[in-house]
């Protein structure tokens, strides 16, 4: 299932055979991605890229759906419905983009299509979890209409600085 988001943006299911392309994309953007995504350091060869993919697509979490993002026909990142909590009807989203694809409004455009991605699912709220210093992801959450609903203090250490995790939500 491919989802056309805009003329130059489409989503396709993430599969194990994407490992070489994922590794290449991570390698090209390692410094920027590593500031906010703890898994980046561990994705450093084909086997670890396969593990990255399989851990996500086989997570077993309710409603989990993982996609690769194509921008101008180049694999440029990942977008995911990480899980859906059936009791709260909350869908957690995740995403990352290569440095060369950032700044083109790609994730904002993908998020406008989330209701289509989630059709026939009971989710009524989407949730963004962003480290407090991840200004780009916070801007995406706020642009989508999300509000800060909570924080998890001292969530992770990045560059020897403890950061809290901000939780934003918006109704679908």
Paired with 158 in beta bridges are: 161
Residue position matching structure tokens 């801007």: 139
Q: Per-residue pLDDT for 53 more than 90?
A: yes
pLDDT confidence band for 161 (50 / 70 / 90): confident
Give the domain ranges of the chain. Answer: 3-171
The superfamily CATH assigns to domain 3-171 is Gcn5-related N-acetyltransferase (GNAT) (3.40.630.30)
Query: What's the rounded Cα separation, in Å, for the pair 130 and 127?
Result: 10
Which stretches of the chain are assigned E, i.e. beta strand?
3-6, 9-13, 65-71, 74-85, 90-97, 125-131, 147-158, 161-171
Query: What integer pLDDT is reported at residue 122 of this predicted model?
Result: 77
pTM above 0.85, yes or no: yes
């Amino acid at each position: 299932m491919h989802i056309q988001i805009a003329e130059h943006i489409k989503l396709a299911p993430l599969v194990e055979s994407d490992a070489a392309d994922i590794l290449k994309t991570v390698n090209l953007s390692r410094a920027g991605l590593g500031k906010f995504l703890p898994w980046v350091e561990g994705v450093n060869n084909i086997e670890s890229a396969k593990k990255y993919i399989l851990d996500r697509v086989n997570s077993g979490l309710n409603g989990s759906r993982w996609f690769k993002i194509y921008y101008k026909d180049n694999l440029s990142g990942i977008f995911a419905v990480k899980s859906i909590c059936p009791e709260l009807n909350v869908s957690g989203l995740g995403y990352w983009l290569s440095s060369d694809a950032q700044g083109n409004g790609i994730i904002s455009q993908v998020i406008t299509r989330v209701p289509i991605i989630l059709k026939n699912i009971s989710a009524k709220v989407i949730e963004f979890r962003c480290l407090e210093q991840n200004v780009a992801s916070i801007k995406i959450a706020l642009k989508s209409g999300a509000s800060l609903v909570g924080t998890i203090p001292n969530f992770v250490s990045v560059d020897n600085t403890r950061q809290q995790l901000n939780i934003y939500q918006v109704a679908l």
